[in-house]
Amino acid sequence: MRRLFTIALNTFTETIRQPIYAIIIGSALILLLLSPYLTMYTMSDDSKLLREIGLSTLFLTSLFIAVFSASGAIAEEIENKTIITVLSKPVNRPTFVIAKFLGVTAAVALAHYICTIGLLITIRDGVMETASDSHDWVALSCGIAIIVTALILSTFFNFSYDWKFSSCMIVLSGILGTLGIVFLAFMDENWKFNPAENGINRFDILGSLLLFLAALIIVALAIAFSTRFNIAVTLALCIGIFLLGLISDHVFGKLAETDIWIQSIFAQGFRFAIPNLQVFWISDAIYEESVIPLKYIGISAFYALSYTTGILLFAIALFQKRQVG
């Protein structure tokens, strides 16, 4: 367990120090900031479209961070031969794969958490649907304070203690974002203590949680592919499965119901082999204004953990015979 924790912590630290990690998070936050201005021309569905764009941004952010982080965690170590140093010690290959998965998952969770805070602040501010609407200056002030404070502290720690600026900025954003969202949970838009009118919707939190469960499957897939392929192939395969997973029911479900038994068998096989990511996407619930029951969250979590476990076992099997010397 000590070796598992050490490798996982080292993987997490290396991942958040990668420039691409900070670039993806920064790009996601900028897109969330601009999304209210992109959704103000839909007449009556501005807020619903804002939610859909925000959750889509979370989904894609987790996808790209998972792929780039997992590829850097295993594929680059194999190419640079640094993996030989680790495996030459009393560390078996299953422990190495699981530790890498946990480290990358922690990095994806941090990025997903920061972007979720940005989404909640953006949705609380809302869309200016009419000329008489005004911004929620409590939410905007809180968001600006988080970014400015994190920027100032990161600059100070980088100058005084030589801490890496990007990773320090990300970690501080997570900490300060937590304090900010707790503050907003008790304050309304008029700077009054009013938790009942805090503008934070349970629906958005549960939607973000479902997308994180989907991200677990993507991380496991990226780890499995990176044991055999480089970052370009891993990215292509993960995006391909990501897209197939979103249309799994629509394509393979219909083919499985045909009378041609060979076609039906192959369709059923693909339907069970490829994770159905549509389970975690709640676009229909957004426009139908449905409630997400906790039972659905529990079933989805079991589904995601089952697929993740199966993919990790497959990754261990792929890595067992991989020559790294």
**pTM attached to this predicted model:** 0.90
Kindly indicate the confidence band of residue 117, based on its pLDDT and cuts at 50, 70 and 90.
very high
pLDDT at 12 over 90: yes
Query: Which two tokens mark 281?
Result: 């996407």
* pLDDT > 90 in the chain, percent: 38
- Kindly report which listed range (29-38, 245-254, 270-279) carries the lowest average pLDDT score: 245-254
Burial code (b: 16+ CB inside 10 Å, e: under 16) for 68-89 equals bbbbbbbbebbeeeebeebeee
Note the pLDDT tens digit of each residue in 34-87: 888 777 666 566 677 888 888 889 988 988 888 888 777 777 777 777 777 777
pLDDT of residue 90: 75
Q: Give the residue with greater pLDDT, 215 vs 79.
A: 215
pLDDT higher than 60, residue 131: no
Cα–Cα distances in Å, from 104 out to 46, 61, 272, 274, 282?
35, 14, 25, 21, 25
pLDDT tens digits, 265-283: 777 777 778 888 888 988 7
